[in-house]
Amino acid sequence: MDERSSPLTDPITGYGLLAGFSVFFLVDGRDLAFGSVNQMGPGFFPTVLSALLLAMALGGIAVEVAARWRKRGLAARTAPRGEDEIWAIQWKPLIHVAVAIAAFALTVRSFGIVPAAVLSAFIAGLASGATPLRHLALLGLTIGAFVYAVFCVGLDLAVVPYRWPF
Amino acid sequence: MDTLSALVGGFAIAFSVQNLQYCFIGVTLGTLIGVLPGIGSLAAVSMLLPITFYLEPTTALVMLAGVFYGAEYGGSIASILLRLPGTPSTAITCLDGHPMAKAGRAGVALFVTTVASFLGAAIGIVILMFFSPYLAAVARNFTSAEYFAIILLGLIGASTITNGSAFKALMMVVVGLLLGTVGTDLSSGAQRFTLGATTLYDGFGIVVVAMGLFGISEIIHSIRLSRSALTDQRIALRTMIPTRQDMREFPMPALRGAGIGAFIGALPGAGQTIAAFMSYAVEKKLSRRPEKFGTGAIEGITAPESSNNAASITAFIPTLTLGIPGSATMALILGALLIHGITPGPNLISNNPEMFWGLVASFWIGNIILVILNLPLINIWVRLIQLPYNYLYPGIIVLVCVGVFAVNLNVYDVVFVIFFGFAGYLLKVYGFEPAPVLLGFVLGPMLEENLRRALLVHRGDFWAIFERPISGTFMAMSALLLLWMVVSAVRSLRRGSRRT
């Protein structure tokens, strides 16, 4: 994995995202009745947990900041320690996979499950950049046939195999 | 109850055409995903979960369990031939298995690990058979206080006994617990964190969370992994015959490994990976020639392999007798049973004996199938290792989409998978292992409900949970684990500052 020092590969960002997650639960849960210890309301458990998570995230940030302050002179971020190693985010596979799944979600209702599967497999296959287009098309059709055979014929699911919406 | 006559009844169930068929499918798929580096049994079980909704509960359990323990067999093949662990628990097998393969003893290594795996599994099954009914009888007296304490211990155990950072794993447990609160609150009927979306009134589906966090995030991460270490080996059956010295060095390490694995597998929170690493460490310590470990010592592969297989079987003990899964994969199997309307717990063995004993019998059958798959048919798997990942993952993504969609025919579920896949990938990027999220997600509602009941019964006195003998013991164990986590964290921080 290549190591770049940017805000995205900073351990503090990781803790910060989790802190944000816990703040969402704290804020969205403030209207839920907290109740008391012997009559726990619906807000009790999530509020206690999100406070705990927030405290842990802030603690993690504090430790990171303290470590960085201690070795100011050193490039702390470019020398990650073992388990804290941060990878660079690989945007290409991430976006391709997301688009492939979204394509399935968008087409499955109107075109049926087999065309959605073929399209999704094709888009997903582009992510690696290592498969020739001709192979990808073939792979997509094979997967479509497999989905038809296993889910529509074999398991007899209550899904529409294919349709033409227009 | 007479265990043996119950087992005979179990065999009658396991030998039904359908159960036999799905047992075979399960262990074959398990070996397949074990062999292929890049997908573990967690991802595989989550991908198969939707299919099992269409099966009888016992058949579903037989198949999912087959995937789970089959992966332990398959994982060692990739470890030995490629030095790439097919599953995390077989990582340690690389250390001595790959040197053996390089020395031209791949056949022997594969033979020995398969036999050790079978031996470990067999010992695990025997312990499961005799110990589970006993534990279930004890657990029948448990109140909500005991359940709360055991679930808490499981959650804390699963996060502190890991290879990575215990602090980060504990945070992941809390994230999972919070995700578990989304939806309608069971006791008050209040809508929690649904943002007004009706599709979230029942909370997130377990399939959605599992597939996103493990299936999709693993694929995003693995797409760029290169597969340079290909092998064009063929394993001739002849080369599998071990030497007489191999035979002599085989039994004791395998038995010790099985013992350690069976014990660790049954603990909440610890799993096959810990079991395998621990057995390896024990063998190295006991050996008269510890220096040969890492160069192809046969004990270095028999002990961990028998250990992780024993652990994969005994992991079913807490799941089936207490209803408390010890690992994320077990949480998925529990989820599958819950969806079928079966709540595992102390009464499972007496209420659903056909399910319990049918599963036990299927363990025997499945492990025998696995020996056949791994010895005479080994070359099928050796060839499969060479399948390039870029032809494999588009199919996995489609299976995830179809699987998630098929559960409720709900398009939003597919959209949530993108969300969880993105979240799971980000977590991995920042060094958070997402497996404890799933454990927290499944156990969260149980933890909340039992805490609420326990506090109601004891009039809000939290310390009452500490005062009851059994729950108090579990709470003390949790406290010790937390203390140990804090101490080792402080120690590693100090070491870090001294180094600079």
Q: Looking at the structure, tell me whether residues A11 and A51 fall in a common domain.
A: yes
The pair of three-digit structure tokens given for residue B221, joined into one six-digit string: 């991460």
Instruction: Find chain A residues with C-beta within 8 A of B175's C-beta.
Output: 18, 21, 53
Best mutation target among B208, B223, B409, B448 (most A Cβ atoms within 10 Å) is B223
The secondary structure of chain B, three-state, reads: CCHHHHHHHHHHHHCCHHHHHHHHHHHHHHHHHHHCCCCCHHHHHHHHHHHHCCCCHHHHHHHHHHHHHHHHHHHHHHHHHHCCCCCHHHCCHHHHHHHHHHHHHHHHHHHHHHHHHHHHHHHHHHHHHHHHHHHHHHHCCCCHHHHHHHHHHHHHHHHHCCCCCHHHHHHHHHHHHHHHCCEECCCCCCEECCCCCHHHCCCCCHHHHHHHHHHHHHHHHHCCCCCCCCCCCCCCHHHHCCCHHHHHCCHHHHHHHHHHHHHHHHCCCCCHHHHHHHHHHHHHHHCCCHHHCCCCCCHHHHHHHHHHHHHHHHCHHHHHHCCCCCCHHHHHHHHHHHHCCCCCCCCHHHHCHHHHHHHHHHHHHHHHHHHHHHCCCHHHHHHHCCCCHHHCHHHHHHHHHHHHHHHHCCHHHHHHHHHHHHHHHHHHHCCCCCHHHHHHHHHHHHHHHHHHHHHHHCCCCCCHHHHCHHHHHHHHHHHHHHHHHHHHHHHHHHHHHHHC
Q: Looking at the structure, tell me whether residues A30 and A95 fall in a common domain.
A: no
Show which of A40, A55, A84 is a domain's final residue: A84
Instruction: Find chain B residues with C-beta within 8 A of A147's C-beta.
Output: 398, 402
Is A161 within the bounds of a domain?
Answer: no
What gap in Å lies between CA B348 and CA B353, rounded to an integer? 7
What gap in Å lies between CA B446 and CA B452, rounded to an integer? 10
What gap in Å lies between CA B409 and CA A97, rounded to an integer? 21
Interface predicted TM-score of the whole assembly (ipTM), two decimals: 0.88
Instruction: Find chain A residues with C-beta within 8 A of B409's C-beta.
Output: 158-159
Interface of A with B in 70-129 (CB under 8 A): 70-71, 74, 81, 83-87, 89-90, 93-94, 97-98, 100-102, 104-105, 108-109, 113, 116-117, 120-122, 124-125, 127-128
CB contact under 8 A, A84 and B165: yes
What gap in Å lies between CA B280 and CA A92, rounded to an integer? 40
Those residues whose C-beta lies under 8 Å from the C-beta of residue B488, and which sit 6 or more positions away, are B166
Q: Looking at the structure, tell me whether residues A11 and A80 fall in a common domain.
A: yes
The pair of three-digit structure tokens given for residue A20, joined into one six-digit string: 């944000």
Q: Is the predicted pLDDT of residue B201 greater than 50, yes or no?
A: yes
Closest by alpha carbon to B44, among B25, B18, B20? B25
What gap in Å lies between CA B228 and CA A69, rounded to an integer? 41
Closest by alpha carbon to B145, among B485, B463, B479? B463
Q: Does B53 touch chain A (CB under 8 A)?
A: no
Q: Residue B46: which pLDDT band, with cuts at 50, 70 and 90?
A: confident
CB contact under 8 A, B224 and A128: yes
Q: What is the mean pLDDT of residues B26-51?
A: 81
Is A166 within the bounds of a domain?
Answer: no
Q: What is the DSSP code (8-state) at residue A7?
A: G
What gap in Å lies between CA A113 and CA B454, rounded to an integer? 48
B265-303: pLDDT as tens digits: 888 767 788 888 888 888 888 888 888 888 888 888 999
Instruction: Find chain B residues with C-beta within 8 A of A17's C-beta.
Output: 426, 430
| Residue B53, φ and ψ in degrees, nearest 5 | -65, -20
Q: Which residue has the higher pLDDT, A6 or B131?
A: B131
CB contact under 8 A, A53 and B216: no
Is A48 within the bounds of a domain?
Answer: yes
CB contact under 8 A, A109 and B460: no
Is A18 within the bounds of a domain?
Answer: yes
CB contact under 8 A, A40 and B455: yes
Q: Does B223 touch chain A (CB under 8 A)?
A: yes
B169-184: pLDDT as tens digits: 899 999 999 999 999 8
| Residue B201, φ and ψ in degrees, nearest 5 | -60, -30
3-class DSSP assignment, residue A139? helix
CA of A122: which chain B residue's CA is closest?
B394
Q: Looking at the structure, tell me whether residues A78 and A50 fall in a common domain.
A: yes
Q: Is the predicted pLDDT of residue B500 greater than 70, yes or no?
A: no
Those residues whose C-beta lies under 8 Å from the C-beta of residue B80, and which sit 6 or more positions away, are B93, B94, B97, B98, B100, B101, B106, B109, B110, B113, B301
Give the model's pLDDT for residue B75: 85
CB contact under 8 A, B493 and A63: yes
Q: Does B421 touch chain A (CB under 8 A)?
A: yes
Q: Which helix (H) or strand (E) segment is A40 a member of?
A: strand A39-40
CB contact under 8 A, A120 and B397: yes
The pair of three-digit structure tokens given for residue B488, joined into one six-digit string: 């080792």
Is A160 within the bounds of a domain?
Answer: no
CB contact under 8 A, B411 and A109: yes
CA of B492: which chain A residue's CA is closest?
A81
Q: Does B498 touch chain A (CB under 8 A)?
A: no
Is A104 within the bounds of a domain?
Answer: yes
Is A24 within the bounds of a domain?
Answer: yes
Q: Looking at the structure, tell me whether residues A72 and A129 fall in a common domain.
A: no
Show which of A32, A53, A84 is a domain's final residue: A84
Q: How far is A147 from chain B (nearest CA, A)?
A: 8
Give the model's pLDDT for residue A3: 44
The pair of three-digit structure tokens given for residue B109, joined into one six-digit string: 């290594």
B378-418: pLDDT as tens digits: 888 888 777 777 888 898 899 889 888 888 888 999 999 99
Is A65 within the bounds of a domain?
Answer: yes
Residue B74, number of CB atoms within 10 A of its CB = 29
Q: Looking at the structure, tell me whether residues A36 and A21 fall in a common domain.
A: yes
Interface of B with A in 370-389 (CB under 8 A): 388-389
Residue B434, number of CB atoms within 10 A of its CB = 26
Q: Does B474 touch chain A (CB under 8 A)?
A: no
Q: Is the predicted pLDDT of residue A49 greater than 90, yes or no?
A: yes
Q: Does A12 touch chain B (CB under 8 A)?
A: no
The pair of three-digit structure tokens given for residue B237, joined into one six-digit string: 């059956």
CB contact under 8 A, B394 and A124: yes
Q: Residue B38: which pLDDT band, with cuts at 50, 70 and 90?
A: low
Q: Does B493 touch chain A (CB under 8 A)?
A: yes
Whether the Cβ atoms of residue B96 and residue B300 lie closer than 8 Å to each other: yes
Give the model's pLDDT for residue A121: 94
Strand partners, B192: B183
Q: How many domains does chain A have?
A: 2
Q: Looking at the structure, tell me whether residues A11 and A71 fall in a common domain.
A: yes
Half-sphere exposure of A126 toward its Cβ, with a 13 Å CA cutoff?
A: 13
Q: How far is A82 from chain B (nearest CA, A)?
A: 9
3-class DSSP assignment, residue A39? strand
Per-chain mean pLDDT for chain B: 86
Whether the Cβ atoms of residue B353 and residue B345 lie closer than 8 Å to each other: no
Q: Does A52 touch chain B (CB under 8 A)?
A: yes
Whether the Cβ atoms of residue B311 and residue B264 lie closer than 8 Å to each other: yes
Which member of A56, A97, A136 has the closest CB to residue B171?
A56
Give the model's pLDDT for residue A80: 47
Closest by alpha carbon to B271, among B186, B158, B360? B158
Q: Residue A7: which pLDDT band, with cuts at 50, 70 and 90?
A: low
Q: Looking at the structure, tell me whether residues A23 and A52 fall in a common domain.
A: yes
Query: Which domain does A70 fall in, by range?
Result: 7-84
Pairing of strands A35-36, B183-184: unpaired
Q: Which helix (H) or strand (E) segment is A10 a member of?
A: none
How many percent of chain B have pLDDT more than 90? 31
Q: Amino acid identity, residue B36?
A: L
- Which residue has tokens 């058979």? B129
CB contact under 8 A, B429 and A87: yes
Q: Does A137 touch chain B (CB under 8 A)?
A: no
Q: Looking at the structure, tell me whether residues A73 and A95 fall in a common domain.
A: no
Show which of A64, A84, A104 is a domain's final residue: A84
CB contact under 8 A, B394 and A17: no
Instruction: Find chain B residues with C-beta within 8 A of A154's C-beta.
Output: none
A38-47, B220-229, B261-270, B461-470: least confidently modelled range = B220-229
Instruction: Find chain B residues with C-beta within 8 A of A112's C-beta.
Output: none
